[in-house]
Chain A
Amino acid sequence: MNRTLGLGAYKQIFLLPGLLVLLAIVLFPLLFTVRVSLSGWDAISPGLNWIGIKNYQDLVGDQRFWQALARLSFMAVTTVLVQYVLGFGLALLVWREIRFRRFFRVLFLIPMMTTPVIMSVIWRTIFHESLGPANDVLHWIGLGPYPWLTSSGWAMASIMIVEVWEWTPFMFLFMLAGLVSLPREPFLAAAIDGAGPVRTFFNVTFPLLAPVSIGAIIIRLIEASKIMETVYALTSGGPGTATETSAYYIYIRGLRDFDIGYASALSITYLVIMIVLLTLIVKCLVRLFIGRSV
């Protein structure tokens, strides 16, 4: 009988254990969340009672969720774009031979190495409107005081500042890795043709780094769409609901209100929306950077 099994079948048999483990690790939590989302599990009714799609019907009319999603989209796209521009700029700065290049490379990476929630607490102290140094420093140059955490716009700006500070190093690292791996020949050719630095950047460096750029932006967008610690530590979603993001709202509904079933429905909906949005964004980015659709 064994002789009838081809090489492909053997491969599949040997792959099966690993595949099963992978499915158990990746798929089981997801499927369990789907099942929980179809239950009314909360503080009063623990367990997987079946309530059908009621949670999904409820969330359609949940303005707070949709507002949080819109807010999150704005924050994620804006901060990632700023991080990309700054990170790329810094990478270009230390790509060439400059003094203290190693020092700057390490310096630029430090924010990323810190713990987000700890840094958010430190930033909260910095932004503290009566005791923190931000307003003091601005006061010395004749600016402020600003309501960093107590006005809707400023609170949003504060979160975005912290996000940009924390994650620009990631972009820097990615883009620097891309830059140092670029072949020298296109640059030599551009130089022989008499291209200046700006033209070289737009015609050689930027196109060559397009795949890296897309990868970095997508990875950061995935991460940024989960903004949670910064909101938790800085504003707790306030003032009012002005800085509440999807992840924070799901946290509140799930772990504070203990409405586990509803929070699971929110999570699944959020996941589906993110997959669709990010797929569309990838297509757009490829068209933008590479000039063709995938």
Chain B
Amino acid sequence: MKTKSHLFSKTVVALAVSGLGIPFLIGTCAYAADISYAKYGDYASYGTAPDVPGPCSYAAMAKKNYKGRTLKVISNAVPVLGEPTVLHARQFQDLTGAKVDVVNVPFGDLYQRIMIPLQTHQAAYDVMFYPSLWIGDMHNFLAPVPAKYLATSGMKDVTTNYRDVATWGNQMVQYPVDGDRNYLKYRADVFNNPAMQAKYKAKTGKDLKVPTTWEDYNEIAKFFSGWDWAGDGKMHYGSAEVTKRDDLMFSAFIDRAAAYAKNPHVKGGFFFDLATMKPQINNPGWVKGLEMFIDAKKAFPPGGTNFGLGDEIFSFGGGQTLMSYTWDDAFIQSMEKTSPIRDKARPAPLPGSHEVWNRVTGKWDHFDRPNAPPYIAWGWTSAVAKSSKNKDMAFDFLCFFSNEANASLDLRIGRFGINPYRTSQFQAKFWEDKLGWPKDLAEKYVNTLGGMDASNNRVFDLRVPGVNQFMSTLANGVAEAMAGQKTPQAALDGVAKQWTELVNKIGVDKVRAAYANVVALEDRGR
């Protein structure tokens, strides 16, 4: 039973959490005030957000009493996801009296640090933050999200894509905290520059337009490589892409290959043929994607064939390259006040292809409008361990982590790695008001992201048991082809052989059952 003094102290803490100290109704914990992170670090410039009443709000958390209890949390290294985890853990501690131990682990070690305790039945962590594509390996160890959290306003606001990403079978086992997708980023100041347009036309006979096919992308990228198109006395290049083997390169490859290999007329699997479980990774569509990836090397900056995600963000964000395509973080960072290309970059959907491989007919299908399936590229997620003895507190923490105020503020901080995943976040006005973006940019941004969210021809990650091994094998094959050690066809034939062995090792039915969930998402449309 809570005492009056306890309630009062909670109110005082909550006032401190608000950062601004704007007065609100003391004693009732009705948080009318705006929330700010200012108290917890250099977050003042990111503004405030209202504490929307509800079971996940600051006010609701301040009424909880978890004193004497400890919540163990594992998350990615700071800053991407790690920083908001630490921040919200501190806030949760201050509000509820709980002790929250956060372990931040580098991405490369996160999988084994989570999986070994789960497999050996140790309750090492109550809450886990990890990439959502691991669901195939994780789902048996996860506690389903209880109905009361599914009914919160924040959860109801999560878009279909990210509800799907969090769902295994018919059950939501991951708690959505982020929405990711890859899209194109380009330097609008160059594309809109009449002198550049004329130069490009003179050289290629074509109009300089934002590319809608990968062929156009490569051609434009190559044209803008190796000369000073920015007029700053430095050498500039056409394309920055994630090419480092063990640093998410597989996502960049899937971005490219999807245009050639994800045929909207063919149901039943993109990575495998669901009926036979034969890998499709070496079919002509995938091979074409790899050939185009290799061709783009001519437009990379020096060192561009060994770019990790950080290098790619730095290259495009630093003004070195004309185009790039990955997650939101790069774009949000490029729009921050300190960015050298602030207001110069614009988003667009990923390029596509007019010719798409049809694995049923064994022929290329022609599309007048380029086929450009959006790749719902994993995204961070969170979950509560089935073995946790603190499930109530754990779900409260996740509910608090992603409450409306936190979701709004986290979205504004590029390095946090939190990107739109709720309907309310696809409002241009939010980006205009809260981040100071120009209206046209804000509209283009939400339209690009919203369009991907509404697409009927989506590609999801290969969410099956052993996904890391499948992706590691794929990345290795692609890297061998990129390095010239093998031809694209030979490299992907090698990957297909290894995938077949893996499927047989894991069990064909087991992989098929898991992959059927992915195919169901891709095929059922919306």
Contact = CB atoms under 8 A, between A and B. Distances in A.
Interface string A73-117: 000000000000000000000000000000000000000000000
B507 to A, nearest CB: 8
A43 B466 contact: yes
A258 B480 contact: no
Q: Is the interface of A mostly helix, strand, loop or mixed?
A: loop
Contacts of A269: none
Contacts of A64: 476
B306 A239 contact: yes
Q: Is the interface of B mostly helix, strand, loop or mixed?
A: helix
Interface stretch (A8-16, A22-30, A142-150): A142-150
Interface stretch (B168-176, B186-194, B241-249, B263-271): B241-249
B94 to A, nearest CB: 33
Contact of B303 (A42, A130, A236, A258): A130
Interface string A137-163: 000000001011110100100000000
A69 B465 CA distance: 30
A245 to B, nearest CB: 14
Contact of B479 (A46, A238, A255): A238
Nearest to A128: B303
Contacts of A259: 469
B108 A240 contact: no
B436 interface: no
A256 B506 contact: no
A279 B506 CA distance: 40
B89 interface: no
A240 B479 contact: yes
A64 B245 CA distance: 15
A235 to B, nearest CB: 7
A238 B306 contact: yes
A149 B482 CA distance: 13
Interface in B476-494: 476, 479-480, 482-485
A128 B58 CA distance: 45
Contacts of A256: 108, 111-112, 246, 468, 472
Interface string B233-246: 00100000000111
B27 interface: no
Contacts of B483: 152, 238-242
B320 A236 contact: no
B308 to A, nearest CB: 8
Contact of B245 (A152, A236, A257): A236
Contact of B246 (A42, A43, A237): A237
B302 A257 contact: no
A239 to B, nearest CB: 4
B230 to A, nearest CB: 14
Contacts of A255: 108-109, 111-112
Given A42-B466, A44-B466, A44-B510, A238 B245 contact: yes
Contacts of A145: 302
Interface in B109-158: 109, 111-112, 115, 119-120, 137
A47 interface: yes
B301 interface: yes
Contact of B305 (A150, A232, A254): A150
Identify the 3 closest CB pairs spanning chains A and B, nearest first: A240-B483, A129-B303, A46-B119
A240 B301 CA distance: 18
A147 B115 CA distance: 38
A40 to B, nearest CB: 8
Given A252-B246, A258-B469, A241 B302 contact: no
Interface residues of A, number: 35
Interface of B: 108-109, 111-112, 115, 119-120, 137, 235, 244-247, 301-306, 308, 311, 314-315, 320, 465-466, 468-469, 472-473, 476, 479-480, 482-485, 505-507, 510
A255 B311 CA distance: 24
A252 B111 CA distance: 12
A53 B100 CA distance: 45
Given A238-B244, A241-B480, A258-B111, 9 more contacts: A44-B506, A46-B120, A130-B235, A238-B483, A239-B306, A239-B483, A240-B484, A242-B483, A258-B137
B303 A147 contact: yes
A59 to B, nearest CB: 14
A186 B472 CA distance: 60
Contact of A147 (B108, B302, B485): B302
A37 interface: no
B466 A240 contact: no
A135 interface: yes
A42 B301 CA distance: 39
Given A256-B108, A259-B469, A237 B245 contact: yes
A236 B244 contact: yes
13 contacts: A40-B505, A43-B137, A47-B119, A130-B301, A135-B302, A236-B308, A239-B306, A239-B483, A240-B479, A240-B484, A241-B479, A255-B109, A256-B468
Nearest to A144: B302
B303 A149 contact: yes
Nearest to B311: A128
A145 B112 CA distance: 39
Interface string A215-237: 00000000000000000100111
B506 A129 contact: no
A161 to B, nearest CB: 16
Given A44-B510, A236-B247, A237-B245, A149 B472 contact: no
Residue from the set A131, A135, A242 with the largest chain B CB neighbour count within 10 Å: A131
A239 B479 contact: yes
Contacts of A149: 303, 306
A155 B484 CA distance: 14
B469 A257 contact: yes
Contact of A44 (B311, B465, B476): B465
Interface string A233-274: 001111111100000000010111111000000000000000
Contacts of B109: 255
A19 B480 CA distance: 49
Given A145-B302, A149-B306, A255-B112, A240 B485 contact: yes
B303 A43 contact: no
B244 to A, nearest CB: 6
Contacts of B465: 43-44
A129 B302 contact: yes
B306 A240 contact: no
B252 to A, nearest CB: 14
B112 A236 contact: no
A149 B305 CA distance: 9
A254 B308 CA distance: 22
